[in-house]
Structure 1
Amino acid sequence: MGYLNLEKKMMLWCRSLLLGVLIAAVQVNGQTPTSDGFISIDCGATANSTDSITGIPYITDDQFIETGVKYNVSSTNYLNSSLPKQYSTVRSFPDGDRNCYSLKPAILDNKYLLRASFFYGNYDGKNSGWDNSPLLFDLYIGSGFWKTVNISDPSIPVTYEAITAISAYHPLLPVCLIRSDSSSTPFISLLEMRLLKNTLFPGDLPDYGNFIKLFMRRNLGASGDKIIRFPDDPYDRIWEPMNITLHELSTDKTVKHGQFDQFEVPSVVLQTASVSAGVNDSIQFYVNPASHIAYFVILHFSELELLPEKDVREVDVYLDGFSGNYTANYAPIYLKSGSVYHPQVVLSQYLFSLNASKRATRPPILNALEIYSGISQSFGRQSNLADVEAILKIKEAYKTMNKNWVGDPCVPVSFPWAGLSCRKITEEGGELRITAINLSSSGLVGEVSYFFSELTEIRVLDLSYNNLSGRIPNSLAGMPYLGVLNLTGNCITQVPEGLVEKSKEGSLILRFDNNTDTCDGSNPTPGGNSTPSSNSTTATNKKITAPIVIVLSVVPAFLLLVVVVLILWRIRRKTQAINHEVVQPLSESWQFNVDLGGSQLQYTSHQSSVDHKDNQLHFGSRQFMYAELENITKKFSRTIGKGGFGTVFHGSLEDGTEVAVKICSLSSKQAPNLFLAEVENLSSVRHKNLVSLVGYCMDSGQMAIVYEYMPLGSLDDHLRGKAGIGRVLNWAERLQIIIDAAQGLDYLYNGCPMPIIHRDIKTSNILLGQNLEAKISDFGLSKAFHSDLQSHVSMTAPAFSLGYIDPMCLKTWKFNEKTDVYSFGVVLLEIITGEPPVRHDRDVQLIERVQLSFEAGDINAIVDPKLQGMYNTESVWKVLELAMRCMARDVDQRPKMAEVVTQLRESLECETSEKSKSMTTESQSMAFMKKSTIFDPAAR
């Protein structure tokens, strides 16, 4: 990654200064520009090449990325060689959701133009994109969302540009391709980085600190289809011609840059211009952006006619809705460059009018045009430098590790390196810290690296089931926040005293099972036959002995056997109960699951029996015998779902009524309590938006719940495209589904004789009927208020779904309606974005990414690309703002569910109103006009 010590930084600074001076000299003296400082990558190529038009050398991408597959573009779709040969190859990424290029520019603290190009050309032989299903995936620069790549015509290349800056403190620029649509495979053809002068693009354009992306760049008055780029433009900006119906001016004389020119438009671009027909005519264009998007429009001028003294060309630029003139009395200078721009202005519509001033005798003129928009403020967020250096040393220490670790470890924030969890520790600054590492079964060989201790914010470190040997570094005991250290299944025989003491004090959970004296070089398997060794809480830098192994192996097994016998005995007693018998709840246990990159650490500590209720549990529904369940499910032949409670099977009753049968998993310690809670709650509620209980079973040592069958699966299935569901829910359908769910929750809080808190609101618990009617399911974690004076229920058995839990509950373990409202806010974000609450089962949550784009007003960076712009922007913003209120830190600021229902209904009315329907895609947001003549600058 190239992080440098002070001496290397000084050498690099000198090199940067020298190269900068050379570039400046070339530009001042008019010498031929060079491509020094450029990075030009031909993705998927097997050999270096040179562009036949620009003369720029291109190199293969092997040194920039470790993943992906190289492909040649199909010759039958290669546009008859009209594209440079660099488009003939691609690198495709069929594996993994995050694949990143690591760009290492030589000059730091400098601005760069970054360009990514994509030409599908049927490289994979699948003819994707020709069936009205565009290829969609996301493009990120660092932690900043850059663009959703949309390949709607696979025979035409797509190119995106941005202007960024490289810091001396973080001299790496990751460019990441993110799989946002499960049906699309990300790929890339070209990746280019162009060195800019730091004086280009003023600091107040925009306020995001020069992190801007190109919307369009046009050369007005040009004839033909010639594109202007390097070497005519020394920065290799691409100027596309715009042929319009206005009058054209041109000159063959050189247009020079002024002393303080902040854009340095090439002379060949400024040598042509468009002018209106007469002095009383105007040049007009408008930008109709999505709501809350700030566009930065830069107008470039140069006078191409040597005007007589009596003639004057002055332009007044008006921006409709902006207080005052955008620019007044601007007089282009003969054969000198000049530009007009303004710091960001957020309007619902940008209508620009270029008029002749009052004293002008010549019509208005315009030579060139650039339009940019801001990139989310998250763009500047990067990993802590000390963490980066430490994790890179760990990567270097374990060359056998099977992880795709490329780019910045913690960005994009929703897609950190596999096995890492990152978060912002303090409100000040944007640095991300590595807080957890899961390298279980990752092929690690050798000693436990000292550099783990340099990751000072680590809470969980899982190194289980590798081939680690030798001593554990004493430095790990000095990690201030380390709470879990899992070394199970390695070859370690000694534990430092410091770790043992922290384990005895209770500040560290230390797992040290299944360690053996020798390793054979193969990767241990969890639960394998390796010789067990002692738990490290009893080992103190002494070799592990067999008696301790035997004791620590037999005792847990005996205790587990006792627990199982007690549970089965209680179940046996319950099978003898009649329908109206009082049922006492079993004792519960506390469980905490740490999910990291697909693996799971589970820690359990038992507590005494809890929640003995004064009221009795009466089950008034049908009680099934286990043999009946075997019959109606045809011996459990069709599985329709699976969760922590158990497996759900399809069944049919005697009258043909379809049902869902959930069989309790006896391996779950909480299953009996979840079973009792769900049966009790489903027996007491009746609402069209709550799943109905058909019956239950407590027979032959089995527990099961039978409830109505929902044929279209869950909302989660539809949003993720699971279980063969191909059709994408449109925005109106998503709104109606979520309104149904909100109505069901509102009934739980306000319609039941005893209000019920659900405690597990998530998209997989919102089930859909034949006509997409939605019903809330899974009441196993639900709790009831027993009096009007009760403000919350205590969570004595913490169990939750990652990404949905209210952060306040992690501190208090107390639930009320507002904690359900928080979880419902996460669900609202899911229907807007189409994304799960946490990607890759890591603790960087969806709300963090959405919050950044929400604050920046960038709706395009938030909305599910599968909606393809087919939604009313106002409706989406209403729901987004409602979701943010639901997830407010201050519980009192969260709305009640009754208000949520009202707000969602208003959003649906806004969406379905014919008067307010509109599409907000960028392809429809631009138009130019001269009087009544409209022309499209997006068309070449």
Structure 2
Amino acid sequence: MLRFHCFFLFLCFCVGLQLVCSRHDPYVMRISCGARDDVHTSPTKTLWYKDFAYTGGIPFNGTSPSFIAPQLTTLRYFPLSEGPENCYNIKRVPHGHYSVRIFFGMVVEPSFDNEPLFDVSVEGTLVYTLPSGWSNHDDEQVFVETLIFLDDGTASLCFHSTGHGDPAILAIEILQVDDRAYHFGPDFGKGTIIRTVKRLSCGAQESLFDADYSGDHWGGDRFWSSIKTFGQNSDRRISTKNSTKSTSKAPNFYPGSIYQTALLSTDNEPELTYTVDVDPNKKYSVWLHFAEIDPSVTSAGQRVMDISINGDTVFPDVDIVKMAGGVNSALVLNTTVPISGRTLTITLQPKNGTHAIISAIEIFEVIIAESKTLLDEVRGLQSLKNALGLPLRLGWNGDPCVPQQHPWSGADCQFDKTSNKWVIDGMYVNELTLRYTSFYLYVCLCGRTYGISMGIFKNHLHTPCTCNLQSSSPPQYRFWLISFWTTWPPLCVNFLINHESTQDKYPFPPSQKENGKNGHLCNHFSQLENLAAVKFFIL
């Protein structure tokens, strides 16, 4: 029996050791935009890779208006001549949950607008609009940070001009976090993105990142902005050198140092109140951090508080010592609330005892993720863009249909409820050259194989599409009308994208008499395997 007991303990030890050893380091990607070489920044010797994965833009000398941003000397800016939408498309990102942080910069050139205002989207969802005056703040306004699930192997970060200066990006961070980090309730998951509005370390002397606290890498290297008071004479700062229990645990891995300082209310102002400006008619996830570090409180029942948000009690009878399991132990409370107005106010009101206390506050905006455009249609338009050699000023970067505020120029998008994806219903591109021509884009889908033929036709052609009998799905059809000014003689572009070996055949529309003015024909599809081909013909 003793031998069996020892064997069981040994087995448990081996399993536990395997679990610890099998935990890999999180994926980390940091890009110094505009840099020609890799860069290390002080004091942590953080590695920033040289610039890559951009769709356009111009590298230039740059700076950040805030000490918060990494001390880098270059940036990439996107003048309107490069198009209204430009992106970074980072590939080979492992599936997972990520903190995506984008630092904004200022071009070091007197003739440039010193404070560009533009929109930012992540994976096709608009997450941030730079506010006027952002460059005058040493807080979260100098970057945008989101938590998002990336499950297609890429991270697409796009910047959309709004007519107020050229977007300028100093640096990008993509940091993997725990899959359940900041699980805020039933809406948590791949259908939502949360954006950091505020992250405060109450009573801290200085603002620091997780790395400065020697925090766990799985925490996402969060930035904690110090706040020494909520208002004049309304509170006082307290601190302790005692270590705090129940910190740096999965899934959020909070650094223990944020619980070693706090703000404590006073006899004159027994309540603690914090107010932040927010966008109306949105949901916000609020995370409140506590540790009982006040030496005058030693047992449960000595401090009990009610906590309300905009006047509604969300956490009644909060007893930190009781709920955390003792003094110097961390307690985290979370709730998600809809806000109709433009302010979010957190109030801590003491019930037992005379003072309220708090260690840290995190506030996130909950954003519903946009449905993307059907992948085959995105590939088709990207091939069309390359085939026609469309100018950079047209844009056509990122997703054609989302964010809905910034679709591709000329894209007529419709939402398909069956696939829960956007599809292209039509295209209109206007280029100032010589002759107006209408193009019909003939699309045939057989399984995963995607065929496209574009020619000059007078009428909308509904032509049968023949698929191999072994095809797993019936043929589907889509016709895109593309109208634009083009040079004369017009181009006829015929191309096929074949994603896998197949015997599927795509007959060219037989109504060849419907072709362009001079009756010249476009070549029909060739049977190609594992090939992407583009052919140009002058009529």
TM, length-normalised to structure 1: 0.42
Candidates 139, 145, 160, aligned match of 1:178: 160
Q: Which residue of 1 aligns with 2:335?
A: 342
Aligned residue for 1:286, secondary structure, equals strand
Q: Alpha-carbon deviation of 1:267?
A: 0.8
Cα distance, 1:162–1:22 mapped onto 2, change above 3 Å: farther
Q: Which residue of 1 aligns with 2:56?
A: 67
Q: Alpha-carbon deviation of 1:321?
A: 4.0
Aligned residue for 1:387, secondary structure, equals helix
Cα distance, 1:400–1:83 mapped onto 2, change above 3 Å: closer
Which amino acid in the other structure matches residue 478 of structure 2?
Answer: Y
Q: Alpha-carbon deviation of 1:371?
A: 1.2
Q: Which residue of 2 aligns with 1:139?
A: 120
Aligned residue for 1:73, secondary structure, equals strand
Q: Alpha-carbon deviation of 1:146?
A: 1.4
Alpha-carbon distance between aligned partners in 1 of 2:309 and 2:336, rounded to the nearest angstrom? 13
Alpha-carbon distance between aligned partners in 2 of 1:455 and 1:415, rounded to the nearest angstrom? 31
Aligned residue for 1:432, secondary structure, equals strand
Q: Alpha-carbon deviation of 1:372?
A: 1.5
Candidates 347, 355, 378, aligned match of 2:349: 355
Q: Which residue of 2 aligns with 1:489?
A: 490
Which amino acid in the other structure matches residue 490 of structure 2?
Answer: G
Q: Is the 8 A contact 2:444 2:477 kept in 1?
A: no
Q: Which residue of 1 aligns with 2:438?
A: none
Which amino acid in the other structure matches residue 129 of structure 2?
Answer: T
Aligned length: 453
Aligned residue for 1:383, secondary structure, equals coil
Q: Which residue of 2 aligns with 1:102?
A: 89
Q: Alpha-carbon deviation of 1:416?
A: 4.2
Alpha-carbon distance between aligned partners in 1 of 2:384 and 2:183, rounded to the nearest angstrom? 41
Q: Is the 8 A contact 2:62 2:170 kept in 1?
A: no
Q: Which residue of 2 aligns with 1:249?
A: 238
Q: Alpha-carbon deviation of 1:453?
A: 3.4
Candidates 152, 173, 183, aligned match of 1:192: 173
Q: Which residue of 1 aligns with 2:292?
A: 303
Alpha-carbon distance between aligned partners in 2 of 1:190 and 1:263, rounded to the nearest angstrom? 24
Matching of residues 193-342 of structure 1 within 5 Å: 193-204=174-185, 209-223=191-205, 225-230=206-211, 232=213, 233=215, 234=217, 235-244=220-229, 246-257=235-246, 263-278=252-267, 281-287=270-276, 289-305=278-294, 307-309=297-299, 312-322=302-312, 324-332=313-321, 333=324, 334-342=327-335
Q: Alpha-carbon deviation of 1:275?
A: 1.2
Per-residue CA deviations over 1:704-751 (Å, capped at 9, x if unaligned) read xxxxxxxxxxxxxxxxxxxxxxxxxxxxxxxxxxxxxxxxxxxxxxxx
Alpha-carbon distance between aligned partners in 2 of 1:150 and 1:366, rounded to the nearest angstrom? 29
Cα distance, 1:303–1:80 mapped onto 2, change above 3 Å: closer
Aligned residue for 1:239, secondary structure, equals strand
Alpha-carbon distance between aligned partners in 2 of 1:475 and 1:452, rounded to the nearest angstrom? 12
Matching of residues 560-575 of structure 1 within 5 Å: none
Alpha-carbon distance between aligned partners in 2 of 1:203 and 1:126, rounded to the nearest angstrom? 45
Aligned residue for 1:230, secondary structure, equals helix
Q: Alpha-carbon deviation of 1:420?
A: 5.1
The reply on whether 1:92 has 2:84 as its aligned counterpart is no
Q: Alpha-carbon deviation of 1:179?
A: 1.1
Alpha-carbon distance between aligned partners in 2 of 1:435 and 1:61, rounded to the nearest angstrom? 36
Alpha-carbon distance between aligned partners in 1 of 2:199 and 2:508, rounded to the nearest angstrom? 61
Candidates 405, 419, 423, aligned match of 2:414: 423
Cα distance, 1:485–1:65 mapped onto 2, change above 3 Å: closer
Which amino acid in the other structure matches residue 271 of structure 2?
Answer: S
Q: Alpha-carbon deviation of 1:412?
A: 2.6
Q: Is the 8 A contact 1:42 1:61 kept in 2?
A: yes
Candidates 349, 353, 361, aligned match of 1:369: 361
The reply on whether 1:381 has 2:378 as its aligned counterpart is no
Per-residue CA deviations over 1:795-818 (Å, capped at 9, x if unaligned) read xxxxxxxxxxxxxxxxxxxxxxxx
Aligned residue for 1:65, secondary structure, equals coil
Q: Alpha-carbon deviation of 1:315?
A: 2.4
Q: How much is the aligned-residue C-alpha RMSD, in angstroms?
A: 4.5
Which amino acid in the other structure matches residue 481 of structure 1?
Answer: R
The reply on whether 1:126 has 2:117 as its aligned counterpart is no
Per-residue CA deviations over 1:501-544 (Å, capped at 9, x if unaligned) read 4578xxxxx4334xxxxxxxxxxxxxxxxxx44478xx999xxx
Identity %: 17
Q: Is the 8 A contact 1:205 1:344 kept in 2?
A: no
Aligned residue for 1:107, secondary structure, equals coil
Which amino acid in the other structure matches residue 156 of structure 2?
Answer: P
The reply on whether 1:116 has 2:102 as its aligned counterpart is yes
Matching of residues 634-645 of structure 1 within 5 Å: none
Cα distance, 1:199–1:475 mapped onto 2, change above 3 Å: same
Matching of residues 431-830 of structure 1 within 5 Å: 431-436=421-426, 453-454=444-445, 462=454, 480-482=477-479, 489-490=490-491, 499-501=508-510, 510-513=514-517, 532-534=518-520
Alpha-carbon distance between aligned partners in 2 of 1:180 and 1:388, rounded to the nearest angstrom? 24
Alpha-carbon distance between aligned partners in 1 of 2:97 and 2:524, rounded to the nearest angstrom? 55
The reply on whether 1:411 has 2:402 as its aligned counterpart is yes
- Structure 1 unaligned spans of 5+: 1-19, 27-33, 442-449, 466-471, 505-509, 514-531, 542-940
Alpha-carbon distance between aligned partners in 1 of 2:146 and 2:316, rounded to the nearest angstrom? 25
Larger Rg: 1
Q: Alpha-carbon deviation of 1:480?
A: 2.4
Q: Is the 8 A contact 1:218 1:241 kept in 2?
A: yes
Per-residue CA deviations over 1:622-660 (Å, capped at 9, x if unaligned) read xxxxxxxxxxxxxxxxxxxxxxxxxxxxxxxxxxxxxxx
Which amino acid in the other structure matches residue 298 of structure 1?
Answer: W
Matching of residues 889-908 of structure 1 within 5 Å: none
Alpha-carbon distance between aligned partners in 1 of 2:239 and 2:272, rounded to the nearest angstrom? 18
- Structure 2 unaligned spans of 5+: 1-17, 432-440, 458-462, 468-474, 495-504, 526-539
Cα distance, 1:57–1:293 mapped onto 2, change above 3 Å: same
TM, length-normalised to structure 2: 0.70
Cα distance, 1:51–1:23 mapped onto 2, change above 3 Å: farther
Per-residue CA deviations over 1:834-876 (Å, capped at 9, x if unaligned) read xxxxxxxxxxxxxxxxxxxxxxxxxxxxxxxxxxxxxxxxxxx
Q: Is the 8 A contact 2:84 2:160 kept in 1?
A: yes
Q: Which residue of 1 aligns with 2:471?
A: none
Alpha-carbon distance between aligned partners in 2 of 1:497 and 1:380, rounded to the nearest angstrom? 33
Which structure has greater helix proportion? 1
Cα distance, 1:418–1:261 mapped onto 2, change above 3 Å: same
Q: Give the number of the structure with larger relative contact order, counting CA–CA contacts within 8 Å between residues 6 or more apart.
A: 2
Which amino acid in the other structure matches residue 143 of structure 1?
Answer: G
Alpha-carbon distance between aligned partners in 2 of 1:80 and 1:161, rounded to the nearest angstrom? 14
Which amino acid in the other structure matches residue 482 of structure 1?
Answer: F
